[in-house]
Structure 1
Amino acid sequence: MPHEVRGVVARAKGAPVTIETVLVPDPGPGEALVKVATCGVCHTDLHYREGGINDEYPFLLGHEAAGVVEAVGEGVTDVAPGDFVVLNWRAVCGRCRACLRGRPWYCFNTHNARQKMTLADGTELSPALGIGAFADKTLVAAGQCTKVDPAARPAAVGLLGCGVMAGIGAAVNTGGVTRGDSVAVIGCGGVGDAAIAGARLAGAARIIAVDVDDRKLEWARGFGATHTVNSRETDPVAAIRELTGGFGADVVIEAVGRPETYEQAFYARDLAGTVVLVGVPTPEMRLDLPLLEVFGRGGALKSSWYGDCLPSRDFPMLVDLHLQGRLDLDAFVSETIALDGVEAAFARMHEGDVLRSVVIL
């Protein structure tokens, strides 16, 4: 019998979101019903509302979530009712060519729940990133549930479900930051600050934060930046080189997703250094770089999708580090809000007033 819950729905491009009655089915084979405790307000949800992902309206928004498994379908063995979980949007298949080569974090056949959640009139909803967690309950593939230590505060660890994991993973998994490295992070929103936190965890010796907003640069210092550069006032490439002995950083993480900031990242890295793109560009953006410079500088130009994470491996480890006091996930939570506060949270996000607003259900 379907569960009748409240959910935040985007019905049309640019239209304010509404709270509506959502019908959530009981879990079928391979699925899990999750009672949502918290869900972060991510830029990706705003992109869905604005039609920047696709036009499959109406959307059930929300995806950075933590909660408790309420029921599971046939064949589910990895999680059980009562488990505290962080939701992820990459349930690996275990059978594609990436999984069979022992690289499941690149899984080419990730999946979601097969059944659809609907509005009261039967209209099928498109859940954001296959999750749809701005709701009292949601239906996901069981592989989208990652069991973690229940001692952790849901509002903090739920953010691992997207932005925080993307940033930490960009530094640790994709960028391969290690002890003694110099790292520059361009763009100090939630993902950029998570990359800074990841670089600090990995033992980077010098972490340079770059942004146009002094307030964000101050936040970046709290996450581990050793130096800051306001790129509205100073040439960031020259500044990064000056702070790294004239050479450039070993790893430069671009967390904005624009051609001009990517070009800055390209020229701010040392010879044989690494550029990591974790900021999300829009479809019309193009990049023009001299091919000789690409060849002559060597190193690696990488893209980081979800921080190249494997949730079953990375989420529990990061939660443990948080509980040990070595990773302050609480610092990413700027405010907690009710379900009806999502539209206002989008406005604060757009103005850069918050790292994360978190809905408490």
Structure 2
Amino acid sequence: MVHKVQGVIVREKNAPATIETILVPEPGPGEALVDILTSGVCHTDLHYQQGGISDDFPFLLGHEATGIVNSVGPDVTEVKPGDRVILNWRAVCGECRACAKGQPQYCFNTHNATQKMTLEDGTELSPALGIGAFIEKTLVAAGQCTKVDDESDAAAIGLLGCGIMAGIGAAINTGEVKRGESVAVIGCGGVGIAAIQGSQLAGATTIIAVDIDQAKLDRALELGATHAVNSRNEDPVEAIRALTGGHGADVVIEAVGRPETYKQAFYARDLAGRVVLVGVPTPEMMLELPLLDIFGRGGSLKSSWYGDCLPSRDFPMLVEQYKLGRLNLDAFVSERIGLGDVEAAFAKMHAGTVLRSVVEL
């Protein structure tokens, strides 16, 4: 049986996102068919539209999603029909060298569904991050489904599927923020705000938000930052040092993905401090730093892949923190929209007026 459903695609670079009829096959071995409940509109979806990820058009957009498992293929044991799940884009293989070392969060052989979703004319679609969630039903690898409870707001917890997890994980998993430490977060969009919340959850006592947009800084202060630095008006490195006894922060999280802001992060950390890059650079960007400074300052320079998360471990734990009132996921849901509003949501994202628009089906 093939399911004929509505979904949002982009046919070519910079083309508008449009609603099309999509054919979704029944799940095969290791696959799950999921009825989508919600899907956040993430910057990564915009990057797909702009051709910044690959040129494998047409793309089926959407990936920060919750849903209900509709059916599963043969031999699937992770989930069953009726389970409420958050989707993730890194189904671990359990067999590669990272998994064999007990580090499945770094799995080098993550996988997606084998079968393809198509347009009515047979054109195969490339689902965003192997998910494609701006659609009524999607086909994924069963390992991309993490079961969660039925009580929490689907729109809020679904954001753990990508950007919010990236930010929280950059602080907790990659940066290993400890109780009493100081943290600076450069870039206060959705990922940066999530890094601030992750730092607060980990017990940081000084959390410095850095951005050029005062409205974003005000929001950061509302959501866990203890200090705000407008880098349009003052040197962020000197400001961070001044707020940390002249030393620099224990952890600096760069959530922009630009050489200029990465250099700020590098010099704003304390000796033996940690820099975490979670902002996504573009292919042409280059970074130049004196090698002696890298050697002389010690510490570590890390990149955070998806917040170095293990969805089966981290999603349920963070949902519980949300239910206990320790993690404010509701604040990230700026608006709830329909499938036909995705293009308008991209415009609001450009303007910086939303943390997340969330498609509800």
TM range (shorter): over 0.9
Size of the aligned set, in residue pairs, is: 361
1:75 and 2:75 correspond: yes
Rounded Cα–Cα distance in structure 2 between residues aligned with 1:138 and 1:239: 47
Q: Secondary structure at the match of 2:138?
A: strand
Rounded Cα–Cα distance in structure 2 between residues aligned with 1:126 and 1:272: 43
Rounded Cα–Cα distance in structure 2 between residues aligned with 1:109 and 1:75: 20
The answer for the alignment partner of 1:217 in structure 2 is 217
Instruction: Indicate if the aligned counterparts of 1:112 and 1:140 stay in contact, CA closer than 8 A.
Output: yes
The answer for the alignment partner of 2:152 in structure 1 is 152
Matches within 5 A, 1:222-301: 222-301=222-301
Deviation at 1:149, TM superposition (A): 1.3
Provide, for residues 214-243 of structure 1, a one-character-per-residue CA deviation record: whole Å limited to 9, x for no partner.
100011112200000000001000000000
Matches within 5 A, 1:31-70: 31-70=31-70
The answer for the alignment partner of 1:307 in structure 2 is 307
Q: Secondary structure at the match of 1:65?
A: strand
Aligned letter for 2:21? T
Instruction: Indicate if the aligned counterparts of 1:240 and 1:248 stay in contact, CA closer than 8 A.
Output: yes
The answer for the alignment partner of 1:166 in structure 2 is 166
Q: Secondary structure at the match of 2:38?
A: strand
Aligned letter for 2:125? L
Rounded Cα–Cα distance in structure 2 between residues aligned with 1:14 and 1:153: 33
The answer for the alignment partner of 2:102 in structure 1 is 102
Rounded Cα–Cα distance in structure 1 between residues aligned with 2:134 and 2:294: 43
Rounded Cα–Cα distance in structure 1 between residues aligned with 2:321 and 2:32: 27
The answer for the alignment partner of 2:130 in structure 1 is 130
1:140 and 2:169 correspond: no
Rounded Cα–Cα distance in structure 1 between residues aligned with 2:211 and 2:336: 25
Rounded Cα–Cα distance in structure 1 between residues aligned with 2:323 and 2:84: 15
Deviation at 1:125, TM superposition (A): 0.2
Q: Secondary structure at the match of 1:22?
A: strand
Rounded Cα–Cα distance in structure 2 between residues aligned with 1:222 and 1:91: 34
TM-score by length of 2: 1.00
Rounded Cα–Cα distance in structure 1 between residues aligned with 2:220 and 2:149: 27
**C-alpha root-mean-square deviation of aligned residues, in Å?**
0.4
Give the gaps of 5 or more residues in structure 2. none
Aligned letter for 1:281? P
Q: Secondary structure at the match of 1:334?
A: strand
Deviation at 1:123, TM superposition (A): 0.4
Matches within 5 A, 1:195-210: 195-210=195-210
Aligned letter for 1:304? S
Matches within 5 A, 1:19-38: 19-38=19-38
Rounded Cα–Cα distance in structure 2 between residues aligned with 1:58 and 1:19: 12
Rounded Cα–Cα distance in structure 2 between residues aligned with 1:5 and 1:26: 13
The answer for the alignment partner of 2:354 in structure 1 is 354
Deviation at 1:121, TM superposition (A): 0.8
Instruction: Indicate if the aligned counterparts of 1:149 and 1:320 stay in contact, CA closer than 8 A.
Output: no
Rounded Cα–Cα distance in structure 2 between residues aligned with 1:80 and 1:225: 40
Rounded Cα–Cα distance in structure 2 between residues aligned with 1:137 and 1:169: 28
Aligned letter for 1:22? I
Aligned letter for 2:154? P
The answer for the alignment partner of 2:189 in structure 1 is 189
Q: Secondary structure at the match of 2:353?
A: coil
Give the gaps of 5 or more residues in structure 1. none
Rounded Cα–Cα distance in structure 2 between residues aligned with 1:9 and 1:304: 28
The answer for the alignment partner of 2:325 in structure 1 is 325
Instruction: Indicate if the aligned counterparts of 1:60 and 1:126 stay in contact, CA closer than 8 A.
Output: yes
Q: Secondary structure at the match of 1:140?
A: strand
Provide, for residues 53-93 of structure 1, a one-character-per-residue CA deviation record: whole Å limited to 9, x for no partner.
00000000000000100000001001000000000000000
Rounded Cα–Cα distance in structure 1 between residues aligned with 2:252 and 2:299: 12
Rounded Cα–Cα distance in structure 2 between residues aligned with 1:159 and 1:282: 23
Aligned letter for 1:87? L
Rounded Cα–Cα distance in structure 2 between residues aligned with 1:53 and 1:174: 24
Deviation at 1:150, TM superposition (A): 1.1
Aligned letter for 1:19? I
Provide, for residues 228-260 of structure 1, a one-character-per-residue CA deviation record: whole Å limited to 9, x for no partner.
000000100000000000000000000000000
Rounded Cα–Cα distance in structure 2 between residues aligned with 1:254 and 1:17: 30
After TM superposition, what 4+ stretches of structure 1 lie above 6 angstroms from structure 2?
none
Rounded Cα–Cα distance in structure 1 between residues aligned with 2:132 and 2:213: 32
Instruction: Indicate if the aligned counterparts of 1:36 and 1:136 stay in contact, CA closer than 8 A.
Output: yes
Provide, for residues 17-73 of structure 1, a one-character-per-residue CA deviation record: whole Å limited to 9, x for no partner.
110000000000000000000000000000000000000000000000001000000
Q: Secondary structure at the match of 1:194?
A: helix
Instruction: Indicate if the aligned counterparts of 1:14 and 1:51 stay in contact, CA closer than 8 A.
Output: yes
Q: Percent identity between the aligned chains?
A: 75
The answer for the alignment partner of 2:93 in structure 1 is 93
The answer for the alignment partner of 2:10 in structure 1 is 10
